[in-house]
Structure 1
Amino acid sequence: MCPPEYYEVAYAINPWMDTATPVDTELALKQWERLRETLTGLGHTVHVLTPEANLPDMVYAANGAFMVDGTAYGARFKHPQRTAEAIAHRAFYESNGWTYVAPAQTNEGEGDFAFLPDAYGGLVLAGYGFRTEVAAHAEAQDVLGRPVVSLRLVEPRFYHLDTALAALDDGAIAYYPAAFSEPSQRVLRQLFPDAVTADDADAHAFGLNLVSDGRHVVLNSEATGMAQKLADAGYVPVLVELSELKKGGGSVKCCVAELRP
């Protein structure tokens, strides 16, 4: 995770961002700290990446890489405003002794990749359509040695996979069907017939931009409908307020890069 010390909405590169809407950086820091405390309180170790000036989106740490089996497939951001973030993430992974592979293709890390180790022998779901190029899916498959299933995103507000789909445990997902093309919806129905499906209200409340340890599911406090669906499915929802970070187009998952050493 990376604290939002320099967070602001200084430009608009997704439909959620509005440069005319004020951002309370102090409140964003408090909300971020509460998320960090929630994760550590659930027994998880949180590594903190040092934020850098002029990189206001560094708080969305999930976009910096995608790690499986101790190998981090690095990010190559689409928009120039975020390009330098990839350098900081590379330094983090390499300083911790993990293998880092620099990408040749445009991709935005866990923003567009999800890993399900118990699904079909260890499946990677990968989004494209707005940020990550589909060619990066083949590159990720080569780097990580895991099968990758490409899913096309078609709704601009759901510009990253992690706004429209989430791994709930090692083999189950939740997703918002309308964010995907009809062929991709058919693929998801075939692969995950028992998935938890979100409605419009769930998705627009960032109810799928969540982090789950297989039992506890940490998600945006506005997503009360999604929380109930998760509880009905046997999970324990944990609601966290992230109203300021939502202004930049992200919530819980965007703030958390999951490490799989």
Structure 2
Amino acid sequence: MCEPKHFTVEYTINPWMDPSQPVSTELAVKEWTELADTYRRWGHQVEFIQPQPGLPDMVFAANSGTVIDGRVLGARFRAPQRAAEADHYRRWFLDHGYRDVTMPTKTNEAEGDFTWTGEVLLAGTGFRTDPGAHAEAQEILGVPVISLQLVDPRYYHLDTALCVLQEATSDRRAHVAYYPEAFSPGSQRVLYRLFPDAIVANAADAECLGLNAVSDGRNVAIPMEATHLADQLINHGYDPTFLDISELRKSGGGPKCCTMELRG
């Protein structure tokens, strides 16, 4: 995670961002701190990278690396305003003992568009990540990749429209929640085939970035407005934790955007 010490909205690279609206860096830090504290209360270890001046979106750590079995695929951002973030995260990995670190040749915004299910890597495209990055991810990470087409610019990354609630194990399929209308008709059919028991979110869930959630298989960090989704989570045995992300959402981010998951 990266503290939003320099958080602001100075430019527009997604439909959520409006530089004419007031933004409170102090409130963003408060929201982010509560998210980090939530992970600690759940019993997880949280690592931090130093925020850098001039990179107001560096708080969205999910966009800068995909880590599976200790192998790291870095990021290559589409927006020039965020390009410098990638190398700061690359150096963090090397400084923290990761040796299998590869920087991509194709544009990919990491866990923004790459979501690990425990069996396959779901890979989004349509607004940020180059379709060619899907094949590159498969080659570098050594896991099977399934491409999904995003069609609604509000849900510009896969992690705004789909959340893995439980990763697959040897005796259990992965369980996900997603918003069908964010995907092309073909991708909707793929998701239904892969996850017939998925939780299906509604428009209100999606519009508050309710699917930009983080689950450890039991606890789920979700925006406080995602009440319909929360009810479904409870019905499926999960324990949702409601969080205020109203300030971070002004830049199009939520709990997952702020969280890179380090696997292995």
Q: Where on the TM-score scale, by shorter chain, does this alignment land: which range?
A: over 0.9
Q: Could you say what secondary structure the match of 2:27 adopts?
A: helix
Name the CA distance, whole Å, in 2 between partners of 1:239 and 1:100: 34
Quote the residue 2:158 is aligned against.
161
Matches within 5 A, 1:43-192: 43-98=43-98, 99-117=100-118, 122-170=119-167, 171-192=174-195
**For this pair of structures, how many residues does the alignment match?**
257
Q: Could you say what secondary structure the match of 1:227 adopts?
A: helix
Quote the residue 1:33 is aligned against.
33
Alpha-carbon deviation of 1:154?
A: 0.2
Alignment deviations for residues 52-81 of structure 1 (CA, whole Å, 9 cap, x no partner): 000000010100011100011110000000
Name the CA distance, whole Å, in 2 between partners of 1:66 and 1:222: 28
Name the CA distance, whole Å, in 2 between partners of 1:189 and 1:224: 23
Identity, in percent, stands at 53
Name the CA distance, whole Å, in 2 between partners of 1:209 and 1:20: 24
Quote the residue 2:11 is aligned against.
11
Alpha-carbon deviation of 1:235?
A: 0.6
Q: Could you say what secondary structure the match of 2:78 adopts?
A: coil
Name the CA distance, whole Å, in 2 between partners of 1:149 and 1:189: 13
Q: Which runs of 5+ in 2 are unaligned?
A: 168-173
Q: Of 236, 245, 253, which residue of structure 1 is paired with 2:256?
A: 253
Name the CA distance, whole Å, in 1 between partners of 2:237 and 2:244: 22
Structure 2: which amino acid aligns with 1:133?
A: D
Name the CA distance, whole Å, in 2 between partners of 1:172 and 1:113: 16
Q: Could you say what secondary structure the match of 1:174 adopts?
A: strand
Quote the residue 1:223 is aligned against.
226
RMSD between superposed Cα atoms in Å: 0.6
Moved over 3 A (4+): none
Alpha-carbon deviation of 1:175?
A: 0.4
